[in-house]
């Protein structure tokens, strides 16, 4: 049985319940749906038919170690550290090939109406009027550097000599005159190239800071790992880490922030974009995301999906090892193939888990409670004709029953019991039965409604 989590107390934890099946837990999918993949073969073939296997604009593998293309080696104690250290060393050699920009015409900044604000590692240039929201951006970027290093488990000393020029532009013309650009920018919102990061002014002060933090992540990842591949992960992790909370009083920043509502991150709007795409039936498959190319990001919805997928991988314990290995595959010949091989015979399970997440994506989504519980196994000793009792925890997501249903058979499910649910409008906890709290609807159903689903074994 499963508990499709809805809002619980003030934490927005999603709680409802459901059977799931073979009778095993998962999202409702027709029993004859061809979704189970017992090896990576089908995924590999599908990927091979895409342009993901063609050379990209940046160089790819250089002097790979013998086991680099063996996905399993990246997760073995005797080989993983050596592989990761090798990538970091090769990335240092690539750093020498970064472009040497012409010096900026610093003497002209006042004449051009550009202001310059400096911190230890950030030179910030903008033609926006002075304000706390604008003038604190370089301090926020500076504070983000050690946090990004901590996220990737990299010694910050690697960036002792790092110097980044950051540009926030209302009008590109003076920045061309300054020497920061050669021509009017072709990017839509932000861009990173070498140790320079750019953003066009947005109406939201938060989003201005987010855009430059996003581009800062790109620059640091390029420095650390030698490239920005695969595309979906590069953009997804920049979105994930760029989402932040800045404290202007303490000058501290929290990256990879998970806001409680859209109001905390004005301009971001990724959850809303995903819900809109879901409602229109436009949600991409995982393989479609793996095929994303730079042109796909002309639509910010692509950023939304990549942010969601990286958020999902990093916050779902059983997939976190994949997320932590992915940046090290940036200079591998076929990083997406490594990802597919690493997932292996868990592909069907990954698709189920991902679909369940994006179907109910919400602020303060509780990954721990919403995780699909597959721990119950089929028990040959039960007799459904005599009746079987299964206990459901209403505070958790889909839960396996350990029951197997036969095709063309009729089964009766009877629900008993109550659960407690906090009603914010009434500011009190009330008890409800299996039909759910009909005074509050979530995802089109009464909060806490007991659900059941029959699913193929994955």
Torsions phi, psi of 29, nearest 5? -140, 140
Q: How far apart are the C-alpha atoms of 231 and 136, rounded to whole Å?
A: 30
For 429, the enclosing helix (H) or strand (E) is strand 428-432
Q: Is 314 helix (H, G, I), strand (E, B) or coil?
A: helix
54, with CB counted inside 10 A (0-12, 13-18, 19+), is exposed
CA distances from 196 to 91, 96, 165, 218, 276 (A): 18, 15, 5, 10, 34
- Hunting for tokens 């979105």 — which residue is that? 239
Residues listed for the chain: 458
Q: Beta 164-169 vs 190-193: how paired, if at all?
A: unpaired
Do residues 144 and 257 make contact, with C-beta atoms less than 8 angstroms apart?
A: no
pLDDT of residue 59: 42
User: What's the sign of the alpha-carbon dihedral 221, 225, 226, 228?
Assistant: negative
Burial annotation 210-238 (CB, 10 A radius, 16+ → b, else e): bbbbbbbbbbbbbbbbbbbbbbbbbbbbb
CB 312 within 8 A of CB 359: no
Structure tokens at 276: 């809109």
Average pLDDT along the chain, 458 residues, taken 10 residues at a time: 31 30 31 31 41 38 66 94 94 84 94 97 98 98 97 91 95 97 92 95 97 98 94 98 97 96 94 95 96 93 97 96 96 94 94 92 87 72 80 82 84 86 84 83 79 73
Q: Which residues pair with 129 in a beta bridge?
A: none
What is the C-alpha separation between 87 and 375, in angstroms, rounded? 37
Please state, in angstroms and rounded to a whole number, the distance separating the CA atoms of residues 284 and 457. Answer: 23
What is the value of pTM for the model shown? 0.82
Rounded Cα gap, residues 132 and 109, in angstroms: 20
Burial of 70 (0-12, 13-18, 19+ CB in 10 A): middle
Task: Write the DSSP assignment of 383-418 as a string of letters.
Answer: -GGG-------TTSS-B-----PPTT----------
Distance of CA 32 to the CA centre of its chain: 30
pLDDT at 242: 98
d(CA 337, CA 314): 19
Q: What is the pLDDT of residue 41?
A: 41
Angle between helices 270-279 and 347-359 (to 10 degrees): 100
Query: Cα–Cα distance between 269 and 278 in angstroms, integer?
Result: 14
- Number of neighbours of residue 360 by Cβ within 10 angstroms: 20
The Cα-based distances of 317 to 25, 45, 258, 369, 371 in angstroms read 18, 28, 17, 12, 9
Please state, in angstroms and rounded to a whole number, the distance separating the CA atoms of residues 73 and 4.
Answer: 36
- Return the pLDDT at 450: 84
Cα R_g (the chain), whole angstroms: 25
- Tell me the domains of the chain and their CATH numbers: 1-26+372-458 (no CATH), 36-97+261-368 (no CATH), 99-226 (3.40.30.160)
């Amino acid at each position: 049985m499963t508990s499709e989590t809805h809002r619980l107390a003030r934490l927005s934890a999603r709680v409802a319940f459901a059977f799931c099946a073979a009778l095993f837990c998962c999202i409702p999918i027709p029993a004859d749906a061809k979704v189970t993949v017992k090896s990576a073969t089908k995924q590999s073939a599908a990927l091979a038919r895409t342009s993901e296997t063609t050379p990209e604009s940046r160089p790819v593998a250089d002097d790979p170690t013998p086991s680099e293309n063996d996905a399993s080696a990246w997760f073995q104690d005797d080989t993983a550290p050596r592989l990761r250290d090798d990538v970091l060393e090769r990335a240092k050699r690539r750093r020498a090939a970064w472009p040497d920009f012409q010096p900026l015409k610093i003497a002209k900044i006042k004449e051009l109406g550009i202001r310059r604000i400096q911190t230890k590692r950030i030179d910030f240039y903008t033609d926006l009027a002075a304000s706390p929201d604008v003038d604190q951006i370089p301090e926020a970027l500076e504070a983000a550097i050690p946090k990004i290093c901590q996220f990737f488990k990299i010694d910050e000393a690697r960036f002792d000599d790092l110097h980044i020029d950051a540009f926030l532009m209302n009008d590109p013309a003076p920045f061309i005159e300054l020497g920061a650009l050669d021509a009017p920018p072709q990017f839509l919102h932000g861009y990173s190239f070498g140790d320079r990061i750019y953003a066009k002014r947005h109406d939201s002060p938060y989003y201005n800071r987010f855009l430059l933090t996003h581009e800062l992540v790109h620059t640091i990842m390029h420095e650390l790992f030698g490239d920005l591949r695969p595309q979906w992960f590069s953009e997804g992790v920049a979105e994930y880490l760029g989402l932040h909370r800045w404290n202007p009083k303490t000058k501290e920043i929290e990256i990879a922030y998970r806001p409680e509502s859209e109001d905390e991150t004005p301009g971001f709007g990724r959850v809303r974009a995903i819900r809109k795409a879901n409602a229109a039936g436009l949600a991409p498959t995982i393989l479609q995301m793996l095929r994303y190319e730079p042109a796909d990001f002309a639509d910010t919805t692509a950023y939304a999906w990549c942010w969601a997928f990286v958020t999902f991988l990093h916050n779902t314990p059983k997939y976190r090892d994949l997320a932590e290995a992915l940046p090290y595959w940036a200079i591998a010949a076929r990083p997406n193939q490594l990802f597919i091989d690493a997932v292996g015979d868990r592909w069907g399970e990954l698709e189920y888990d991902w679909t369940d997440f994006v179907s109910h994506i919400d602020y303060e989504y509780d990954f721990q409670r919403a995780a699909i519980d597959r721990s119950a196994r089929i028990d040959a000793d039960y007799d459904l004709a005599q009746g079987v009792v299964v206990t459901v925890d209403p505070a958790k997501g889909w839960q396996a029953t350990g029951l197997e249903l036969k095709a063309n058979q009729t089964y009766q499910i009877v629900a008993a019991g109550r659960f407690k649910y906090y009603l914010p409008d009434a500011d009190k906890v009330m008890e409800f039965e299996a039909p759910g709290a009909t005074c509050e609807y979530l995802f089109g159903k009464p909060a806490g409604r007991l659900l059941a689903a029959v699913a193929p074994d994955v």
